[in-house]
Amino acid sequence: MLVSNQRNEERHPITYMKKTTILLVCAVAMAFTGVARAQVSGGRIVTVDLNRVFNEYYKTVASTAKLKETAESYNKEQDELLAQFRKLSDELAKLQEEQDKPEYTDEVKAQKRKLVSAKLDQIKAKEQEIQNYRRTHAEMLQQQQERMRQGILKEIQEVIAKEARDLGYLYVLDKSGVTFNRVPTIIYSQDSLDITEDILKVLNKNAPKTATETPKTEKK
């Protein structure tokens, strides 16, 4: 019987297409079930620009400034190491000029060559020290930045969740998000449903005056 039905569908492609269309309609309907429930129950679906909230949160501004100071301190120490490397290179060049001077005896030339060899070892060691310093401190800075980012995002999400519970929002959607194809996850939403300003007010209510005096992100 199953074989017979399958053959009948193959003989009548229009009937098969109708069944496929019905399945697609059902799938789309199921995808919007959550939204429909929100509308029926009187709940609201609101949006927030999470990228803007993160950038304008006073703790982000303060942490970014601190990271910048740390990076500048690392760069200063690295410059000192590079200056030491250049000094060693200059000393090596001078020794190399002296090691083959004709007025020197063979014994003196041998001593100069030993000094050149020792200086080369110092230069190699300093070069390795610089490479290790760059790698280690770059990793430290990256880890510090990631810890800061994760901590702040957690705080922001907790504030948004509390705001949603207190005001009865069923869904809070991030309007700054994009899909894998770099397409906005939300194509359109009414400005009246945007709670970005409300979230920023809650987050920055205890901010020092200097921390909140930052230019706001322009709306596109």
> What pLDDT score was predicted for residue 182?
86
User: What's the token pair of residue 192?
Assistant: 């009246």
Question: Is the CB of residue 59 less than 8 Å from the CB of residue 155?
Answer: yes
Question: Is the CB of residue 154 less than 8 Å from the CB of residue 59?
Answer: no
Measuring CA to CA, which residue among 46, 67, 50 is closest to residue 156? 50
Cα 2 to Cα 5, 6, 15, 48, 194, distances in angstroms: 5, 6, 16, 52, 53
pTM of the full predicted structure? 0.67
Q: In whole angstroms, what is the distance from residue 138 CA to residue 144 CA?
A: 10
φ/ψ (deg, to 5) at 85 = -65, -45
Apex CA 208: angle with CA 205 and CA 146, to 5°? 85
> What pLDDT score was predicted for residue 19?
42
User: What's the token pair of residue 134?
Assistant: 């760059």
Q: In whole angstroms, what is the distance from residue 50 CA to residue 200 CA?
A: 10
Q: In whole angstroms, what is the distance from residue 104 CA to residue 31 CA?
A: 90
10-residue mean pLDDT profile of the chain (220 residues): values are 41 40 38 42 80 96 96 96 96 87 82 92 97 97 96 97 95 90 87 94 89 46
